[in-house]
Every structure is written in C-alpha cells, then in structure tokens.
Structure 1
C-alpha cells in the first residue's frame, strides 16, 4: 500500500528561516514513514516557495512524488471559503483506498484549515488519518517526529475504554450508585443519560407514586452540572400547589404594579430556574392557562410576568413528572394536547419496585445505609433475619404499593428499633406484619382511600354513601366540566325529565358533603 500525504504548504515554517526544521520537507525524509506521494496545496502567491519545497523533497527523498495543487484562497482565515474549497477538492480527488493509505498533514496551514481538515476527515469525505509532525527531539533522534491519529479510534482502545467507563459512571450516578440486574431498567437509565447529556429538550418521567421521580430529577440536575450543560440550580415545584388565582404569579412572577404594594412582586419559579433545571412534579395538575403559557415559554424562550408589558427571556431545562397517563388526560380535556406533544419527545417510564425484585437486595442495602447516616450508628442484619426479609420482599404476592417509600420507611423502622445495632428475625416478622396490613388496608378499601384525599373525616361517611360518592368523585375528576360529569352520571334518569339541568343536580349532591366542582378538579 502506498502512503499519500495531503497538506498545505507552510508559508512560514517551510521557508526554514526561523529554524532549520521544514515540516513538508522533512516529513518525506523520515525513514520510518515512507511517503510515496505528497499533495502540496498552495496558492499563486506561494508558487515559487512550493516549487522550491518540491525540489528539496526530491533531493532528500527521490522516491517521493510531489504534486503541486493550486488552491486559490482569497482569505485563508474565512471558514466558509476554506471549507468549501477543501470540500470541492475532496469530492473531485478520486481516492483509491484499495491501493493507497491517505494522511492529512495538520502541522501546516491556518487554524481554520486545520479545523476544516478535521471535519472533512471525521465525516469521511476524506478517507484519511490525521498526521501531525514535529521537529527532531535531539541529536540522538535526527528525524522529525510523526503522530498519526485515526479518528475511528481503532488504535486508541484505552481511550475508548475511558469514554465507556465515564458513561458507566454517569449511568451509575443516575441510579444513585445502586447496581441493577434489571435489563429494562438498566437500558432506560443508559438512554436517559444519553439524552440529558446531549440535549436540553424537556424530559417527562412517568411512574407510580414512590418510584423515585423526584430523586431522579435531582440526579439529572447534578449530571448536567457535571457535563456543563447548565450552570443554574434545580427549582422543584409540585403543581398540586399551583392552584387558584396566585398560580400564574407563582410560576411566571408578578410585578408590583398589579397590586401596587411593596413586597407583592415575585420573581417566579421560571426566573429562579434560569440557566438551570425546572422540575414540575405532578404536571397533570397544572391548570390549563398555565399549561398554555408554559408551552409558549418553552417554544419562544420568553414569557410575560403578571403585570408586565415586556417579555422576559428564559433558558431552562424542563423535567416534568406524572403518575397518570397524560394521553388519557388529553382526551378528557385535562391536559393540553400541544403541551403533551412537546413533552412527548423524551418520555421515560420508571418501573415500580415490584417489577424489579431482582434488585431488592441492592435497594435494601442502600436504604440501610441511608438510615444509618440519619441515625448516626451502624446497623446490621442477623443472617436469618436478612434471608427472611429478602424472601418476603421478593415474593411476587407482595404489592409494594408505595414503592421505594415503603422500602425506605421499612428500613428506617427496623434500624430505629434495632437493639445493640442488630436486626433480628422477630423484628423482621413484626415488620412483615406491619407492611402486609398496610397494603391490605389500601387494597381493601380504594373508595375510602379516595375520599381521604378530599374529606377531613372519610370514616364519618356512611358505608352506604361511600361507594356512590367515590364514583361521583372519579367521574368529576375524569370529566372536563361540571356539566360533562353531570351528563355522564345522570345519563339514564335525565332522559325522562323535561328540564335536564345535570350540573345543578350534581352541584347539590356534592354540597351535601361540603364539596364542590372546583375542589374536585384541583385535587385530581
């Protein structure tokens, strides 16, 4: 295979005035790297120098063929011109990779030319390796030095392993340092790491309550700080609190002129997240008006604080989280379809704990360490107690309805009650009883659990009324308006009535329990 070197003439270095080393000449005279052909690029102003360099190369290396390539550059520092001329040269060259190895000489030429060489070589428009030469390192080594860089990293396995190790470290960081044996979860975390380190588009985390959406958002923020994607802080907002007339001001800020009193101005969560991450938990609870303005801010990069006539620019990375199916909520008119489409670019589904039972041992060890740090003491399992707990935790019949919250609470109870720093088998049996009772209670009376979200004393409602009221609450949460809920609930009886005021009937029914439509809609 013949070696072909392509490079610009060195308008300063190749004259040899400042030092005896002339890169274009001496690269061809290196016995350890025979050059069969040198493509020497020059313009008309440096033709005489190019001809002299060609003669000197032939004198030192008769086997080297020197081709002078006229490339006229009006401004060798103009990126667009240099890239265009080199691109045209590459397209018309006619590379023969079966017979020749190609090398691009980076030592000569402007910085702009070097960047263009790199881009064209990396994109394989020029099927070459990069070659960098240097002066001899002393009398013991009279030949010029040569470093060859293969951009496919085939010769740089150690460097590639370093990149791979860094990627594993970032994925490990997103998992909180907890190893996983779950292939699906591992794949999801790796994909998430790729996205958040390469893109600033919104990320949507979907999963049941307690699967770690908030914790993962914090780790994403830390990772983006490490990778210098952001400089700002993490602003965490639960959209359940963004209700009523103050929601707009809380999210977008408010000017003093709205009320006219000092101290009434607010910066707003979006302003606080400038240059950082805005984490909107339970984004399905964000009111419709705020959803629309949030979408505008994401797409335009600006927004209007309440009371302001001047747009304020914004740059933040949005992480949203929900435990519900937003596509269903969009069909019901609760979630804006246009905002959902914006959030749907990167969606990550976090699996519940019961779907990762093979990781239960590692997760338990992590929760024990967290409890130990909190309590300030060392806690350990007796062997039989540890085996019993893990057997219980991995049992497919165990619900783990609260996911990591259940596991964290369980570990803290065990550590707090551990005498002399040891968790015993009787303690584990008692904890198992506590968890199974807790899960059974939740599963046995879903209606009571639902009413507990909106009533101060759900147990005070007659059992006869619980099922009916729970059905009404669910219908109201799934409907887009009070009237729509009424039409659904009274679909049969309304047909025989002359006046079909379903909204009024539903309003009166809710009033019996001290409820109204607004309360149910905001608690959805």
Structure 2
C-alpha cells in the first residue's frame, strides 16, 4: 500500500484538552492515530499558530504517543474570519496549488471532521474538482464518550463519480430526461438537431449568458425558450417568471415603455407607473423574439441592461435594476444586419456568445414522423383520440418528406395540417380520402404563400424604391428559391442556359450576389441554412 497522507484543519474546540483528562475526551485529529488497521504516515495540519499554537503542539505530541510512525507538519494558516467563504476558499486553493502532490507514490485523504462548516464546504469543492487529488475522510466518535484506546469509526468517501456506475447511469438518465423535456418529449431522429439540444441543455445548466436562437418562423424558437425556462425553474436556477415578447410588435414611442417601463407623467397618457418587460422578468427568463426588429434606441438600452443590470425607465431620473436571463430569437441574418448598420455590433457580440440555429422542418425530414405522432397525442389531450389507417399514414408521410412539400410555416404548418385532418376524420380514423383532401389544401396554401408579398415583410419601405421590373424579377427569384432545397440547386435552375453556354462558372455565388444587392440572403428567402 502507498503511504497515506492526511490534510485537515486543527479542531480548535474538538481537539483541545489539557492534563490527564484530555485522554478521556474524543479528539478527532488525535484519533487519526488510534486505529490499528489505518496508518497515517503524514499529517498536514492547517492551524492559526498565533492563536492556537499551544493546542496544535499538544496534538502533535499526543499523536506521537499513539502513532509514532505519523509525521505531523504544522502549516500556519491565518484567517481573519474563518467563516468568510471567499477568504477560506482562497487560502485552501493557494495551499492546494503550492503543495507538491505525488499521486504515484502517495495516497491523499482530506479530513473534514474538523474546521468550520465553511472550511468543510471548501475542502469538498476542491476535492470534487480534483484540485486536491484525494478522497474525503470522515471520523465519528465512539458511542460512549469515554475513549480510552478507541478512536471511533472511519469513513472514506471517493468523489470520483466515474467509479460509481449506478450513479453515473442515474445522472445520464436525468440528463437525457432534461433533453427530452427540451424536445417536448418528441423522439427526434435528426442527429444534428439532437446534438444541438444536448449543447443547449449543457449551456443552460452552466451559463447565465444570453442565448441566441436563429431559424425560420415556426421552427420552434419560442417553445424551446419556454422549455429551457421550465428546466431551469425545476433546478431552482430561476425563481422569476417567463416573459415573452415579439419585438416586431414593438413600434414607435411605445417600444421603450413596453421594454423598460415608464414613470407616471412620462408622456401624455402615462397616468401611472409601468414596470416594463425587463423588470417583470427579474430573476426569471426574458425571451425577445425577432430581436432584429428592435430600433436603435431600444438596442442601446438593452445592451446597457445586459451589461449593468440597470437602466432608466422612460421619463425617469432614477435607475432601476433587473437581473434576468435573456434568450433572443431571430429569423434574420444578424451578422448581415450589423454589416448594413441596422443592428449594433456590440449588442450582437453580447448576444452571440451562445448561438444556435434551429433548422426548419424541410431540413429535418426524418423528424416529420415523430412530430406527427406528437401532434396526434396533443390532439388526444383535448379528449379526441384520432389515428391514421396504415395506407393513409404512408401516403401522408410520402408527401410530407417529398420535394413537393415546402413547409413554409415549418412545425406550425404540420400542427395545423394534423388538426384539420383530425377534425374531419370520420369516427376518429384518418383515411386516404381525408389525407388526399389535405394534400390538395396544402398545395393551394403553399402556392398562395409563394404569391404573398414577402418582399414587403423583408424590405419594408425599401421595396418602394425599386423599379417594378426589379420587383417582379426579385419575386420570381424568391419563388424559385423557396421551392429548391439548396442554394446550388436554385442557382443551377436560374442559370441553366448560361451554364450550357459555359458563360456561368459559379451559379450559387451568382445567386448569392444577386440577393445581396437587395440586402437578402439565401437563408432568409428560403428558410433554410444549407448551401
């Protein structure tokens, strides 16, 4: 066996004792040497020698009597307040950093029977993080206070969880349950999406920094934000509310008031004080969807609130505080908007610490089936259980996973589609006829969506500055992009003639530059993120 080295504090009360009567008292540090089957080769004893030097030297002498083989080294450890966590952790961290551990030749034990509760907590943390490469050692007194040669009982605790298979499996199951919760219980199959959820679960449990969720409308950003809030609330990491707002609905003077509140009399009609969304989210989670739509003034105020947790309500001269976790959502390319001067680069940098792209439904074709089952279960919760017959289910899935299905609204489209079929299903059974009718309806809806003036949504007033010729051409390009699965495919179709004449060398780059003339990107117009 390797020599055993024990590290611990002198017990200023438990270890104290004078005269012959001290041997009638159980003293934990002295008891370390009173076990025939437990030999301490060296004791590293932490003690404030100025105040407790006499006690330490008495313990050193008594240990020499009961265990001559034990070498006792006294380390002068001064703490103005042994109950101050920061000071205690700092002293112990410095000790661990400066100690010459030799794990190849020695085994180390951290004695947590003595010392203040703060000292015991700090020793635990340093041992659990392996800064002290040791096991924990806990001594208990004998049943009778009269000790004699009895040193009580010894317990060793190894914090290396990798050695505890059942514990490890339990933690893995709990982690998997948390990730399943983030996915609303859906057994998703897309490997990239599942990996993203794993990372969001880890980030959510270890960081309070803002999280940026990117992706097309209907990809599930709002639902994921709420699920993450529920998870953090269950872990007691948040005690406040979940507050959600779509920034696209915040316009004009009311935007500042909605976000940051106002004081009474701040403007005409402000008859009372308003807390605002940021203060309502104190100790909770604030989800700002479509954050790219915030105005310049709101962006500046939000940055200040994120950095200092303080801001001024509209019309106020006294700052207020709010400590919240922020999740931001966007279907915009914020990096492009920064380059265009439409979004603050410092706010983008603050939001972009943790950024995740939620793929649209067309990028997760293997997840359509489990999401279909999820929607069926949701419908059943309202008291109406509906099922597919086999042929109808196969026909619907074939269409849903085909190139013809564009899923412009992503999971919202899928949920609405299932609701319609479930409502029309005769006797709670979705038949082939119901499916065929729904597929025709989806085709009509998506054709109408393609004709909707999405350019107005994307370009706003800038659309009016374009010639009608450019508007018509751009609309047709966008319509084709939304039908294609990749930038390269769209480029091949748009420039097929010039490619056949060898006058076009890079169709995808040509299309990207064309869209860029109007401040648009492939991701925006197609709702996808693949090239």
Q: TM-score, normalised by structure 2?
A: 0.77
Displacement of 1:384: 1.9
Distance 1:137 1:168, change over 3 A: farther
Q: Which residue does the alignment assign to 2:12?
A: 11
Moved more, 205-214 or 31-40: 31-40
Moved more, 403-412 or 160-169: 160-169
> Is contact 2:79-2:88 (8 Å) kept?
no
Q: Which residue does the alignment assign to 1:99?
A: 105
Q: Which residue does the alignment assign to 2:297?
A: 289
Aligned-partner Cα distance in 2 for 1:309–1:262 = 16
Q: Which residue does the alignment assign to 2:411?
A: 404
Give 3-state SS (helix, strand or coil) of 1:420's partner.
helix
> Is contact 2:386-2:429 (8 Å) kept?
yes
Q: Which residue does the alignment assign to 2:42?
A: 37
Matches within 5 A, 1:320-339: 320-339=328-347
Distance 1:100 1:356, change over 3 A: same
Give 3-state SS (helix, strand or coil) of 1:28's partner.
coil
Aligned-partner Cα distance in 1 for 2:172–2:23 = 44
Q: Which residue does the alignment assign to 1:395?
A: 402
Aligned-partner Cα distance in 2 for 1:252–1:94 = 54
Q: Which residue does the alignment assign to 1:77?
A: 82
Aligned-partner Cα distance in 2 for 1:112–1:353 = 52
Alignment of 1:416 with 2:417, yes or no, is no
Distance 1:415 1:71, change over 3 A: same
> Is contact 2:83-2:116 (8 Å) kept?
no
Alignment of 1:317 with 2:325, yes or no, is yes
Displacement of 1:364: 0.5
Displacement of 1:351: 0.7
Q: Which residue does the alignment assign to 2:443?
A: 436
> Is contact 1:71-1:85 (8 Å) kept?
no
Aligned-partner Cα distance in 1 for 2:214–2:118 = 46
Matches within 5 A, 1:364-513: 364-374=372-382, 376-443=383-450, 445=451, 448=453, 450=455, 469=471
> Is contact 2:26-2:151 (8 Å) kept?
no
Give 3-state SS (helix, strand or coil) of 2:265's partner.
helix
Aligned-partner Cα distance in 2 for 1:95–1:453 = 63
> Is contact 2:33-2:70 (8 Å) kept?
no
Give 3-state SS (helix, strand or coil) of 2:26's partner.
coil
Aligned-partner Cα distance in 2 for 1:290–1:176 = 33
Displacement of 1:350: 0.1
Deviations 1:69-90 (A, max 9, x none): 1525364616566556555654
> Is contact 2:257-2:274 (8 Å) kept?
yes
Give 3-state SS (helix, strand or coil) of 1:292's partner.
helix
Aligned-partner Cα distance in 2 for 1:301–1:81 = 27
Deviations 1:45-75 (A, max 9, x none): 545544554454455445x323241525364
Instruction: Choose the corresponding residue for 2:258, options 250, 256, 261.
Output: 250
Q: How many residues align?
A: 460
Q: Which residue does the alignment assign to 2:28?
A: 23
Displacement of 1:337: 2.0
Matches within 5 A, 1:87-236: 89-90=95-96, 93-136=99-142, 144-236=152-244
Distance 1:37 1:250, change over 3 A: closer
Deviations 1:489-524 (A, max 9, x none): xxxxxxxxxxxxxxxxxxxxxxxxxxxxxxxxxxxx
Distance 1:430 1:253, change over 3 A: same
Aligned-partner Cα distance in 2 for 1:244–1:229 = 35
Displacement of 1:246: 2.3
Aligned-partner Cα distance in 2 for 1:94–1:298 = 43
Displacement of 1:353: 0.9
Aligned-partner Cα distance in 1 for 2:220–2:368 = 15
Displacement of 1:120: 4.1
Distance 1:395 1:261, change over 3 A: closer
Q: Which residue does the alignment assign to 1:501?
A: none
> Is contact 1:90-1:126 (8 Å) kept?
yes
Give 3-state SS (helix, strand or coil) of 1:257's partner.
coil
Distance 1:334 1:50, change over 3 A: closer
Displacement of 1:103: 0.8
Distance 1:224 1:154, change over 3 A: closer
Displacement of 1:348: 1.0
Deviations 1:90-121 (A, max 9, x none): 45543332221111111112334334433443
Aligned-partner Cα distance in 1 for 2:62–2:251 = 81
> Is contact 2:44-2:75 (8 Å) kept?
no
Aligned-partner Cα distance in 2 for 1:278–1:405 = 23
Q: TM-score, normalised by structure 1?
A: 0.78
Displacement of 1:137: 5.7
Give 3-state SS (helix, strand or coil) of 2:15's partner.
helix
Aligned-partner Cα distance in 1 for 2:233–2:139 = 37
Displacement of 1:325: 0.6
> Is contact 1:188-1:348 (8 Å) kept?
yes
Moved more, 176-185 or 221-230: 221-230
Distance 1:220 1:78, change over 3 A: closer
> Is contact 1:73-1:81 (8 Å) kept?
no
Displacement of 1:210: 0.8
> Is contact 1:197-1:224 (8 Å) kept?
yes
Displacement of 1:19: 7.1
